[in-house]
Amino acid sequence: MRALLLGTAAGGGFPQWNCACRLCAECRAGAIPPRTQDCLAVSADGVGWYLVNASPDIRAQVLATPSLAPGPGPRDTPLRGALLTDAELDHTLGLMLLREGAGLQVFAPPAVISALSENFPIRDTVARYGAWDWSSTVEIPGLAVTSFAVSDKQPKYARGSTAPGPWVVAYRIADPATGGALVYAPCLREWPDGFDDFLAGAKVVLLDGTFFSPAEMAGTGTTTAAQKAMGHVPIDGPDGSLARIGKHSGILWGYTHLNNTNPALDPRSPEYASVREAGVELPPDGTEFVV
């Protein structure tokens, strides 16, 4: 299995268009590498590819990735479908940009399908081009995909929806030919019960790296409680994800979905150093894993 990190930033990307914080300013000045909004592409054979989430940056991401270039026919595309971890606009708006692609298959939890059918009806626009389905275990060509419920956090546009959860899932994508598996979990409210078992034996795990610390956004006028309500476990601290990683061995760990406030974005920072010293990567856009 090949896995391409098309984007690694949280909503708005990095630098964020309406932000003049130090990190965004230094990114614009060329001191810190930019990142597009998080999105993954996976393939068993390097010919047919499935997205995991469809970011608003998907057009630029596809154009920057030779493996996703169209051909050999004038309207052929290697993109076969998408798996959605949640219904957030940062992970679904890209479907609108893929609406010309005939036969696009979309897999998503029932609550996500409901939100994108009723609250923000993207599905009505792209359904003509492919099928929508859901199963806790998905068989896509050459790969087996299982999901794990990590949160019932609803997107703002669907708050109050009575659709049963889960609203947010992580995916474990396995290649039966190699025995390798990759886990993609860009949104984790906390480290849920049973998640360690879900990770066991994986070769690569890409985790929610939105915030480095629990009170990171306090300087932006957002309270610690409001930051927690956003549904992202921090990297650092006694309840952070970094403290849980040491329980596993033999896994290549990486953080994705990094928010523009996260000081670990800066390779010169002590926060970046602490993550790397723990044996965890902060892979840039365009990183490829062979699993």
Rounded to an integer, the average pLDDT of 108-137 is: 85
Could you give the 3-state DSSP secondary structure of residue 210?
coil
pLDDT at 53: 98
Sign of CA dihedral 216, 194, 111, 121: positive
Residue 117: name the closest of 137, 100, 95 by CA: 95
| CATH fold of the domain at 2-290 | Metallo-beta-lactamase; Chain A (3.60.15)
What confidence tier does 108 reach under pLDDT thresholds 50, 70, 90? Answer: very high
Distance CA 198, CA 138 (A): 16
pLDDT at 226: 67
Amino acid identity of 174?
A
Span 240-288, pLDDT tens digits: 999 999 778 899 999 999 999 999 999 999 999 999 999 999 999 999 9
DSSP 284: P
Span 17-73, pLDDT tens digits: 999 999 999 999 999 999 999 999 999 999 999 999 999 999 999 999 999 999 999
Lowest mean pLDDT among 8-12, 137-141, 215-219: 215-219
Q: Is the pLDDT of residue 225 over 80?
A: no
Residue 129: name the closest of 174, 77, 90 by CA: 77
pLDDT at 128: 65
Could you give the 3-state DSSP secondary structure of residue 74?
coil
Select the more confidently predicted residue: 181 or 75.
181
Q: Is the pLDDT of residue 75 over 90?
A: no
Output the six-digit token pair for 33: 């590498």
What confidence tier does 209 reach under pLDDT thresholds 50, 70, 90? Answer: very high
pLDDT at 43: 98
What confidence tier does 205 reach under pLDDT thresholds 50, 70, 90? Answer: very high
Select the more confidently predicted residue: 222 or 19.
19
Strand order in the sheet with 105-107: 132-133, 105-107, 79-83, 49-52, 39-43, 2-7, 288-290
Q: Which burial class, exposed, middle or buried, applies to 12 when counting CB atoms under 10 A from its CB (0-12, 13-18, 19+)?
A: middle
**Contact, 35 vs 61, CB < 8 A?**
no
Lowest mean pLDDT among 14-18, 100-104, 278-282: 100-104
pLDDT at 47: 96
For tokens 């469809």, what's the residue? 54
Q: Is the pLDDT of residue 126 over 90?
A: no
Rounded to an integer, the average pLDDT of 74-90 is: 94
Residue 211 neighbours by CB distance under 10 Å: 27
pLDDT at 269: 98
**Contact, 14 vs 35, CB < 8 A?**
yes
Q: What is the pTM (predicted TM-score) of this model?
A: 0.95
pLDDT at 130: 72
pLDDT at 31: 97
What confidence tier does 230 reach under pLDDT thresholds 50, 70, 90? Answer: confident
**Contact, 241 vs 207, CB < 8 A?**
yes
For tokens 């708005």, what's the residue? 12
pLDDT at 127: 67
Span 128-179, pLDDT tens digits: 667 788 876 788 999 999 999 999 999 999 999 999 989 999 999 999 999 9
CA 3 to chain centre: 12
∠ CA 136-228-266, rounded to 5°: 95
